[in-house]
Chain A
Amino acid sequence: DAGITQSPRHKVTETGTPVTLRCHQTENHRYMYWYRQDPGHGLRLIHYSYGVKDTDKGEVSDGYSVSRSKTEDFLLTLESATSSQTSVYFCATLVGANSPLHFGNGTRLTVT
């Protein structure tokens, strides 16, 4: 969908290790978002970007950082993974407010 690729698709890591998830898009969409999916919480916004090098915090940004050095890539880094960050992470892109979000296929992260 909209050429969005998330990598890796699955990852198991240990508590305390840094982890980087990648979102790559081929559609030149300006806005990019990282969400996490947890039972009972729906999708919660972690960080988002409104342009190259322009990022801002979402609802649940503690323990996460992002970078967007070029339009097509939006990286999400867990600086020191904790078990509470075990989740499914979705990247999404947006052309503009009147358009729908396009989602990647998700990354399932397990922190042991």
Chain B
Amino acid sequence: ILNVEQSPQSLHVQEGDSTNFTCSFPSSNFYALHWYRWETAKSPEALFVMTLNGDEKKKGRISATLNTKEGYSYLYIKGSQPEDSATYLCAFYGGATNKLIFGTGTLLAVQP
């Protein structure tokens, strides 16, 4: 059973705060690590697909890093805004199986 874990489960921050979440995943058979943003009543929206150890990706105020040797990825949000409120999901793609397994997500609430 592939174990993909995210922490914290939920986070409440004030507008303007910077925040970060963690995704941990198996370090064997690694092929890719995905990050998605998921708003209530919508479908998940892709943020990043990361494949290389040491990879860093950025999209506006959101960035992510990847460490495949130790099996973790961080997602950072700089200067959080209320519209950043959503659940952030990571997903592990194991090349041997073609399965994409999600973590349980981090629910972010940004108070104005």
Contacts and interface: CB of A to CB of B under 8 A. Distances in A.
B108 interface: no
B46 A100 contact: yes
A1 interface: yes
A94 B89 contact: no
Interface residues of A, number: 27
Interface centre among B43, B49, B91, B101 (most CB of A within 10 A): B43
A112 to B, nearest CB: 22
A99 B49 CA distance: 7
Interface stretch (A21-29, A36-44, A70-78): A36-44
Given A99-B49, A100-B34, A50 B43 contact: no
A42 B46 CA distance: 15
Contact of A42 (B32, B34, B105): B105
Contacts of A59: 1, 101
B99 A103 contact: no
B99 to A, nearest CB: 6
B51 A98 contact: yes
Interface string B85-105: 001010101010111111111
Given A42-B104, A97-B93, A105 B98 contact: no
Interface of A: 1, 31, 33, 35, 40-45, 48, 50, 56, 58-59, 90, 92, 94, 97-101, 103-106
Q: State the 10 A-B residue pairs at the shortest beta-carbon distance, nearest first.
A: A100-B46, A103-B43, A42-B104, A43-B102, A42-B105, A97-B32, A97-B31, A50-B98, A42-B102, A97-B93
16 contacts: A41-B104, A43-B44, A45-B101, A50-B98, A56-B97, A58-B99, A58-B101, A59-B101, A97-B32, A97-B51, A98-B32, A98-B49, A98-B51, A100-B49, A101-B34, A101-B46
